[in-house]
Amino acid sequence: MTESRVLVQIDGPLAYVTLNRPDKLNGIDLETIDELIAAATSLRGNREVRAVVLRGNGRSFCAGLDFGAAFKDKKKVARMFFAGPRTVNRFQLVNQVWRELPVPVIAVVHGHCYGAGLQLAACADFRFTTPDATWAILEAKWGLVPDMAGTVPFSELLPADVLMRLAMTGEQFSGARAGELGLATEVSEDPLKSALALVDQIIERSPDSVAATKQLVYGTRRGSLRKTYRLERKLQSAMFKASNTAIARKAGAAKTKPVFGPRTFGR
Query: Are 167 and 139 contacting, i.e. CB atoms less than 8 angstroms apart?
Result: yes
Kindly give the confidence (pLDDT) of every residue in the chain, 267 residues in length, as a single tens digit, with 9 standing for 90 and above: 578 999 999 999 999 999 999 999 999 999 999 999 999 999 998 989 999 999 999 999 999 998 887 777 788 888 888 876 667 899 999 999 999 999 999 999 999 999 999 999 999 999 999 999 999 999 999 999 999 999 999 999 999 999 999 999 999 999 999 999 999 999 999 999 999 999 999 988 988 888 988 988 888 787 677 778 888 888 888 888 888 888 888 998 899 988 888 767 666
**H-helix or E-strand spanning residue 160:** helix 160-169
Q: Count of domains in the chain?
A: 1
- Strand (E) or helix (H) holding 8: strand 6-11
> Rounded distance, CA 83 to CA 92, Å?
10
Q: What is the DSSP string of 47-91?
A: TT--EEEEEESTT-SB--B-HHHHTTSHHHHHHHH---TTS--HH
**Is residue 225 included in any domain, yes or no?**
no
Closest C-alpha to 110, from 29, 180, 53 = 53
- 61 lies in a domain? yes
Are 53 and 19 a contacting pair, CB within 8 Å?
no
b/e sequence 86-114, b meaning 16+ C-beta within 10 Å: eebbbbbbbbbbbbebebbbbbbbbbbbb
- Measuring CA to CA, how many Å separate 86 from each of 83, 230, 233? 8, 8, 12
Instruction: Name the pTM for this structure.
Output: 0.89
CB 157 within 8 A of CB 221: no
Contact 124, 97 (CB under 8 A): no
* Domain assignment of residue 133, yes or no: yes
Element (H, E) at 114: strand 112-114
What CATH number does the domain containing 155 carry? 3.90.226.10
Q: What is the dihedral of CA 167, 169, 175, 181, to 10 degrees?
A: -60
Q: Is residue 256 part of a domain?
A: no
Is residue 175 assigned to a domain?
yes
Owning domain of residue 126: 6-202
Q: Would you say 141 and 248 are in contact if contact means Cβ atoms under 8 Å apart?
A: yes
pLDDT, position 185 = 98
109 found inside a domain: yes
At 114, which amino acid appears?
Answer: Y
User: How far apart are the C-alpha atoms of 155 and 252, rounded to whole Å?
Assistant: 27
Which of these, 102, 99, 97, lies nearest to 209 by C-alpha position? Answer: 102
Domain presence at residue 223 = no
Question: Does residue 217 lie within any of the structural domains?
Answer: no
